Amino acid sequence: MPMLLKSQTVKARKVHACCTCHTPAVRPGEEYRRDTYVFDGRVYDWVMCTACIAIEGFVFAWCDYVDDGIGAEQYDEWARDTGWGADNEPEAQTDEQKGALAYLARRGMIVAHSWVGVAGHPDDPECAHREDGTDATYCGEPEYRHLWSTR
């Protein structure tokens, strides 16, 4: 099991990638947590953004077995398990479901809008959602990458 040597909240001087969501989530001037661990004789740092820290309790509660600690794989599994079952209406979602959906969006596993199929082509795998309201660009992502389907 990893042994925690030091845990500190620090202010970033440069951009850091979160070890959990793998996004450059920590920007200069923002606070983040840096934990130093030793495991199998190797010392390493684990950087976490504030968004991943906020859902840490949910992931620990979801995991059955954490002797080796939890990492990005457990966060991914928890988010898929919790987020895919979330209600379509944000008002009906629990804080855990909202956290899971936000995590999935940060990881690029889903986009933050509903599926909008190509008009007249219900079997077309591309989404016709246009963020900017123009005809020049559209989402183009398949249905499974969206928060939920409108079908």
Starting at the edge strand that comes first in sequence, how are the strands of the sheet with 42-48 ordered?
Answer: 3-11, 31-39, 42-48
The pTM assigned to this predicted structure is 0.71
The whole-angstrom separation of Cα 122 and Cα 58 is 37
Between CA 81 and CA 124, with CA 115 as vertex, the angle to 5 degrees is: 115
> Following DSSP, what letter does each residue of 53-64 receive, concatenated?
HHHHHHHHHH-S
**pLDDT digit string, tens, across residues 106-140:** 887 776 666 666 766 666 667 777 666 555 456 77
Give the pLDDT confidence score for residue 137 in this predicted structure.
57
**CA dihedral defined by 13, 98, 103, 54, rounded to 10 degrees?**
40
For residue 55, pLDDT over 90 is answered with: yes
Q: Are 140 and 127 spatial neighbours (Cβ–Cβ below 8 Å)?
A: yes
Give the pLDDT confidence score for residue 120 in this predicted structure.
63
